[in-house]
Amino acid sequence: MKVLMVGGGWSTNIGNAFIDMGVQNVVKEVLGVEPMLYNFVCEHMHYSIGQLSNAVNPIRNQKFDLIIAGGMCCCKNFARFGAFIEEQCKNGAKFAILGGGMGEFDEEEVAMWRAFMKQVKPIFFISRDQKTFDQFHDLAPSMNGIDMGFFVPDYFSVQKVANYTVAAFDSGPPQTSLPHIDIQATHSVFDLAGKRLNGPMFVSDTPWCYFELYGGCDAVYSDRVHACVLGLAYGNKARFLGNTPRVGVLDRVGYTTQEEATGVDMDALSVDKGKVKEFFLKAMKNA
Task: List CB contacts of 196: < 8 A, sequence separation 6 or more.
Answer: none
Residue 170 pLDDT level (bands cut at 50, 70, 90): confident
Vertex 228 angle, CA 223 and 232, to 5°? 165
pLDDT tier for residue 176 given thresholds of 50, 70 and 90: confident
Confidence of residue 132 (pLDDT cuts 50, 70, 90): very high
- Residue 151 to residue 147: CA distance in whole angstroms: 8
Whether 18 and 210 have beta carbons less than 8 Å apart is answered as yes
pLDDT digits (tens, 9 = 90+) for 239-277: 999 999 999 999 999 999 888 999 999 999 999 999 999
The 10s digit of each residue's pLDDT in 67-107 is 999 999 999 877 667 888 999 999 999 999 999 999 999 99
Q: Do 187 and 231 touch, CB atoms closer than 8 A?
A: no
The rounded percent of the chain whose pLDDT value lies above 90 is 74
More confident position, 143 or 191: 143
pLDDT: is 196 or 206 the higher one?
Answer: 206
Examine domains 3-150+270-286 and 153-265 and report if their fold is the same: yes
Phi–psi pair at 4, nearest 5 degrees = -120, 130
pLDDT at 224 over 80: yes
Give the pLDDT score at 76.
84
Coil, strand, or helix at residue 253?
coil
Task: Please tell me whether residue 221 adopts helix, strand or coil conformation.
Answer: strand
- Amino acid identity, residue 218? D
SS3 string of 61-96?
HCCCCEEEEEEEEECHHHHHHHHHHHHHHHCCCEEE
pLDDT for 39: 78
| Burial call 38-63: b when 16+ CB within 10 Å, e when fewer | bbbbebbbeeeeeeeeeeeeeeeeee
What pLDDT is recorded for position 206? 93
The CATH number of the structural domain formed by 3-150+270-286 is 3.40.50
Domain ranges of the chain: 3-150+270-286, 153-265
Chain segment 203-213, per-residue pLDDT in tens: 898 999 999 99
What's domain 153-265's architecture?
Answer: 3-Layer(aba) Sandwich (3.40)
**In contact, 167 and 178? CB cutoff 8 Å:** yes
Give Cβ neighbours of residue 207 (< 8 Å, ≥ 6 apart): 10, 14, 17, 18, 20, 21
